[in-house]
Chains A and B, each alone.
Chain A
Amino acid sequence: MSEVSAPKSLHDLPPGSVFDPARAAKLMTRHGHGGWLGLTYHAHGTGWMELALPWREELVGVAETGVLASGPIISLMDNATSMSVWALCGKFVPHATLDLRVDYMRAAVPGRTVIGRGECYKLTRTISFIRGIAHDGDPEDPVAHVTGTFMATHGTYL
């Protein structure tokens, strides 16, 4: 066996390897779109994962009001729900988002960090079902609700 170099990306991890949410979040949010957005690890538990999206001028959707664009919220929730799947099955299984629906309850308050909480509520061999909320301080007053599905592309969840 050759020495394994430290993975630069989450996707350098072999499929089926043990999932360490905090470490994975660091890998997933350092490069690419997640890195540009400035996503960071917030918290996790069995079947759920929270990432944080700090407010930044560049992410604004309405220049006059400073309200975040909806794109960064979708990306936050895509990543948080994606990782909640691995937080449930306990291993890293490469997968692809099949669909995502986002309901926008209200605009996030300019300047506030948005927390994305993703939750995986059902796994089959190849499909995972997820839901989640985004809030800017009070989980009882969410900015958005999401629901969607992922499909395992290499290996199976169960």
Chain B
Amino acid sequence: MSTIGSTLPPYATALGIHIDREEDGMPVLAVDFTDRMMGRPGFLHGGAMSGLMEMAAVAALRAEMERRGENMRLKPVNVQVEFMRGGTQQVTYALGNVTRAGRRVALVNAEAWQDDRKRPIALAQMKILLSPIDGE
């Protein structure tokens, strides 16, 4: 049923980022700890963690647009990432939450966690510009 999976770009699939499940219609992304995800030895790279959360934010927004029956082109404006804990050698999850999606701009939060959902390792807040795709 989910068409969201098909929207994960080459960057995401190359890192092993995939849709683990859906929660309230929003995709939960997951990625295994591999050498490709590693920064300092034994820990997740901050940029890789950010990339995962951005993918989760965009996937959440696409799911929301789909629910509304709108086909929009998404353009990232900016992202603010807070790193709270070092990511260790285990599966990392990320879920986006559309805080506000108007006609032109959307604000989406995302968080990443590992074994304890209540102890996120990082947060991201992303602003995304929306524009209608002509002819569709």
Q: How far apart are the CA atoms of A77 and B78 in the complex, in Å? A: 14
Subset of 19 A-B contacts with CB under 8 Å? A31-B38, A32-B38, A36-B35, A57-B10, A59-B11, A60-B9, A62-B9, A63-B9, A71-B50, A71-B55, A74-B51, A74-B79, A77-B47, A78-B47, A78-B50, A99-B81, A100-B46, A100-B80, A100-B83
The chain A residue with its CB closest to the CB of B13 is: A58
CA distance in complex: A92, B54 (Å):
30
Q: Are A75 and B83 in contact, CB atoms less than 8 angstroms apart?
A: no
Q: Residue on A with the closest CB to B76?
A: A104
- Among candidates B10, B79, B81, residue contacting A59 with C-beta atoms closer than 8 Å: B10
Chain B interface residue bracket vs A? 20 to 34
Query: How far does the Cβ of B104 sit from chain A's closest Cβ, in whole Å?
Result: 16
B1 part of interface (Cβ distance < 8 Å): no
Residue of A nearest to B73 (CB): A62
Chain B residues within 8 Å of A36, by CB: 35-36
C-alpha spacing A44/B12, complex, angstroms: 31
B residues near A (Cβ < 8 Å) are: 9-12, 14, 35-41, 45-48, 50-52, 54-55, 75-83, 86
Q: Which residues from chain B contact A63 at a C-beta distance below 8 Å? A: 9-10
Pick the contact of A103: B36, B40, B77 (CB < 8 A): B77
Provide the residues of chain A in CB contact with B48, threshold 8 Å: 33, 71, 75
A146→B80 CA distance, assembly (Å) = 10
Knowing A75-B50, A98-B83, A101-B78, the reply to whether A9 touches B11 (Cβ < 8 A) is: no
Total interface residues on A, using CB and 8 Å? 37
Decide yes or no whether A158 CB sits under 8 A from chain B: no
Q: Which residue of A lies closest to B47 (CB)?
A: A75
Closest to B78 in A: A103
Q: Which residue of chain B lies nearest to A10 when distances are taken between CB atoms in the complex?
A: B40
**A101 contact set on B, CB distance < 8 A:** 78-81
A39 CB to nearest chain B CB (Å): 10
A70 at the B interface (CB under 8 A) = yes
The answer to the question of A118 belonging to the interface, with a C-beta cut-off of 8 Å to chain B, is no
Contact of B81 among A9, A10, A58, A74 (CB under 8 A): A74
Name the 7 nearest CB pairs between A and B, nearest first: A71-B51, A75-B47, A33-B45, A69-B11, A32-B38, A36-B36, A78-B47
Least Cβ distance of B108 to chain A in Å?
13
- B40:A11 contact, CB within 8 angstroms: yes
Q: Is there a chain B Cβ closer than 8 Å to A76's Cβ?
A: yes
Of the listed residues B37, B38, B45, B82, the one surrounded by the most CB atoms of chain A closer than 10 A to its CB is: B45
CB distance from B8 to the nearest CB of A (A): 10
Chain A residues with CB below 8 A from B83, complex form:
96-100
Residues of chain A lying within 8 A (CB to CB) of residue B86:
96
